[in-house]
A and B are shown apart, each in its own frame.
Chain A
């Protein structure tokens, strides 16, 4: 299923490969599009966002999304596992209430509220993104572990597996596709929220967009928007691929 083993025709219709090529081309090649933007917007003194390189912004953006998602997977997955164990069952209702209620809070409002509580900068953005990403991960971890059929659990225990073995060798592998879907939701939301995080002092791909909007520089807006959109599409396609592999693997 990797690019190397694909026929040329498949490569042309592969969303992940196409998106990846487009993303890399946009990030690396944006500076060479300067003449194009200069022609499109003759009125602009600076037709290319140069305060920060797009490579730097893209890496920072991915780092913010990656770190917050990782923290959310560890914390949210852990909480989801805890409340499906006999000793943690009592907290399940509480966790579900928080997850459902929290997801009705718009991400942009959560991000904005982080500022009065924690101030401006990279860290408040990271914490806000982590908190928001927790919710779909928790919800899907609980749903995924719930969906494991009781007879399967019984036979695993009958084979002499201990609780930890049942969790890691039976429950988590079977729940993996559902958990992955939650992670995907969280990551896709975070790619967008991280862009808006430029308004609370984080350096991400949203920066050219915000600077462009505030300074009426449409070229900046387009440059930032194109790369963010490509990044989101690539990550989504990547999750698609991952989900396919995971389904194959868990049915094996």
Chain B
């Protein structure tokens, strides 16, 4: 007898098949006796154990069933939970298996994530986020789903369950350096943001009021944005080094945080200036006229009408700027600006792959976190002005 199952969620089916294929065909973890030897693959089925193993098995079975669940709130809610818990369970398994492998191995032994882990974790997370979208959750709601999974992983991190993984061993070896790097990375972004806002916002207002300003400024900023970051850092080195030689004692130098800050500011200007101008351009003329008719002074109109209405577009410019700056600050490590990029490139130059992860993964997390926070800000700003006629949300 052939039973035809009704297929309701082809995305979940694709993800379940991808995860199943990765579970069978790809290594889950890599285990190496020390940093120099290449690792041997550890398949998923040898790692399934304990409480986390039970959770992975249950959620994996649920994930195989979800494509056939009817798209009710219950069915989709179950899909969200199964996807999220599957990913969190996989992370738990990596920690547990790393601890098992560490027993009876030397202290130099390393257990790292392998391709199978990445594919399965991504499949679980994407199933959850897609089901959240089908549930009708907005961007903020979907972020909350991602945040809940991140929270489960953070709990495991905090409890020390993952300490046997090699990325955390690298972290334990350079705890102080890592904390400094995160702080320095954030400082680089923040210190570039300050001059960007001080120059960029007035410039954007000017470009909105006087067309000639826009015509003069935007082509220049566009060209700057085109020049690759590594080239701009390189081109700033020579003049700054020359300036440093001319003004001894000024502390100016071609390497370090100063050229990084200048380059980051130059890159950050375009989205800020452009979105300030576009945001103000988008304020409907009738709204301004109504404000004038109510007897508001030009200054009051600017502060109470223009600014709040232009805020969502401005904030999306700020979001582009911050996310971009987090990545550029990583490249700036090449000219000695420090930050997480320094850890990443140190790993690349020394062929220490876990060190690469320790640098690159937090860079991605910083960018995603900045993006999420500013997206929530944009949603709040858009919500607070309500919907105006003839004006679409950014």
**Which A residues fall within an 8 A CB radius of B?**
90-91, 93-94, 97-98, 101, 104-109, 112-113, 115-117, 120, 188, 191-193, 195-196, 199-200, 206, 209-210, 212-214, 218, 221-222, 224-226, 228-229, 232-233, 236
Contact = CB atoms under 8 A, between A and B. Distances in A.
Contacts of B234: 209, 212-213, 221-222, 224-225
Contacts of A233: 223, 226-227
B101 to A, nearest CB: 18
A232 B231 contact: yes
B319 to A, nearest CB: 9
Given A192-B230, A222-B238, A228-B230, A97 B356 contact: no
A191 B248 CA distance: 36
A80 B367 CA distance: 25
B357 A116 contact: yes
Contacts of B353: 115-116
A195 B226 CA distance: 13
Interface string B354-394: 10110111011001100100000000000000000000000
B130 A93 contact: yes
Contacts of A229: 227-228, 231-232, 235
In the complex, the 5 A-B pairs of residues with the closest C-beta atoms, listed nearest first: A106-B327, A192-B228, A225-B234, A225-B231, A116-B353
Contacts of B68: none
Contacts of B317: none
B231 to A, nearest CB: 4
Contacts of B223: 233, 236
Given A200-B348, A209-B334, 8 more contacts: A106-B326, A191-B228, A192-B231, A196-B230, A206-B230, A218-B241, A225-B231, A236-B226
B245 to A, nearest CB: 12
Most central of B222, B231, B347 by chain A CB within 10 Å: B231
Contacts of B235: 222, 225-226, 229
A113 B113 CA distance: 12
Interface in B309-366: 323-324, 326-328, 330-331, 334-335, 341, 344-345, 347-349, 351, 353-354, 356-357, 359-361, 363-364
B156 interface: no
A31 B261 CA distance: 32
A236 B224 CA distance: 11
Interface of B: 9-11, 14, 112, 115, 118, 126, 129-130, 133-134, 142, 222-223, 226-235, 237-238, 241, 254, 323-324, 326-328, 330-331, 334-335, 341, 344-345, 347-349, 351, 353-354, 356-357, 359-361, 363-364, 367-368, 371
B367 A108 contact: no
A117 B344 CA distance: 15
Given A93-B134, A210-B334, A232 B228 contact: yes
A244 B119 CA distance: 41
A97 B230 contact: no
B356 A112 contact: yes
Contacts of B237: 218, 221-222
B223 to A, nearest CB: 6
Contacts of A104: 323, 367-368, 371
Contact of B331 (A91, A105, A108): A108
Nearest to B362: A109
Given A93-B133, A97-B130, A232-B226, A113 B323 contact: no
A228 B10 contact: no
A209 B241 CA distance: 16
Nearest to A200: B348
B115 A117 contact: yes
Contacts of A210: 334
A93 B11 contact: yes
B238 A94 contact: no
A188 B227 CA distance: 8
Nearest to B333: A108
Most central of B227, B241, B359 by chain A CB within 10 Å: B227
B364 A105 contact: yes
B231 A228 contact: yes
A108 B330 contact: yes
22 contacts: A90-B10, A90-B11, A97-B133, A106-B363, A108-B327, A109-B327, A109-B344, A109-B363, A113-B360, A116-B354, A117-B118, A192-B228, A193-B228, A195-B230, A195-B231, A206-B230, A209-B234, A221-B234, A225-B235, A226-B235, A229-B231, A232-B227
